[in-house]
Chain A
Amino acid sequence: MSRRPLVREVPPTSWYFHRPTYLRYMSREITCIFVAAYCVLLVVGLQRLAAGPAAYEAFLLGLKSADSIVFHLLALAASVYHAATWFGATHKAMPIQIGENFVQPGVISGAHYVVWLVLSFVILYLAGVF
């Protein structure tokens, strides 16, 4: 008697349409495309900064375009979504036990959100935004 193992047919390119959970997973996955593209922009910016004042000013001026505004909006949405889901997962990635009990998930994620907000405001302040 032969036993046939169970082989589930998984369509490699459209499997994530099967469940809302998978779709949420994929929507988080694609944020990395915009974050990666933005990282490349940062490396280019560093190169321009090293090349001198004229090159750097031209780089800043080059950012002023409709395409750039759209890209920045996408990158902003992607990075904020990444941050929110990353902090939302912290209590699962590093649960903290004190005595018999685990620290409430909301406390761990909440602490990350607070640190995120404070850090962001400090950086905006240091950059002279306000």
Chain B
Amino acid sequence: MAKSHKPVVWFPFAAGGTVIAFFIPVIVVLTFMAALGHVPPGLSYDRMHAFAGSSLGKLVIFGVVALSLWSSAHRLRCTCFDFGLRADTLVATVLYIMAIAGSLLSAVYLLQI
């Protein structure tokens, strides 16, 4: 049977698309309030630090950030191709490495908290 690496890319892509759809709009609303000068109480240092300090919080934050990054990288790759940038292997390599680096960095930051 022919083997393909596509499921490896596709699973986090589909999961990321769902995570982005469910979570990113409301998170944007929260930081948008901060941008307008009304920082929501939940975004204060103490509450965010406490949330990111718990293991459940770490897991949730890492899941949302890593899956969203991976899904965005995969979609950016498709968008580059659709806009006529046909160096797909190069684009895919750069974007996936950035997504993996971003995920690793967020894991490191979370473990420091």
By a beta-carbon cutoff of 8 Å, the part of chain A in contact with chain B is: 12-13, 16, 26, 29-30, 32-33, 35-36, 38-43, 45-47, 49-50, 53, 56-57, 60, 63-65, 68-69, 72-73, 75-76, 79-80, 82-83, 86-87, 112, 115-116, 119-120, 123-124, 126-129
- Total contacting residues, chain B, CB less than 8 A: 52
A36 to B78, CA, bound (A): 13
A residues in contact with B61, CB < 8 Å: 46
Query: B113 contacts A49, CB within 8 Å?
Result: yes
CB contact under 8 A between A50 and B109, given known A13-B84, A72-B35: yes
Once bound together, how far apart are the Cα atoms of A80 and B29, in whole Å?
A: 11
Select one of B25, B78, B86 contacting A29, CB under 8 A. Answer: B78
State the B residues within 8 Å of A (CB).
17-18, 20-37, 39-43, 45, 47-49, 52, 61, 64-65, 68-69, 72-73, 75-76, 78-79, 82-84, 86, 102, 105-106, 109-110, 112-113
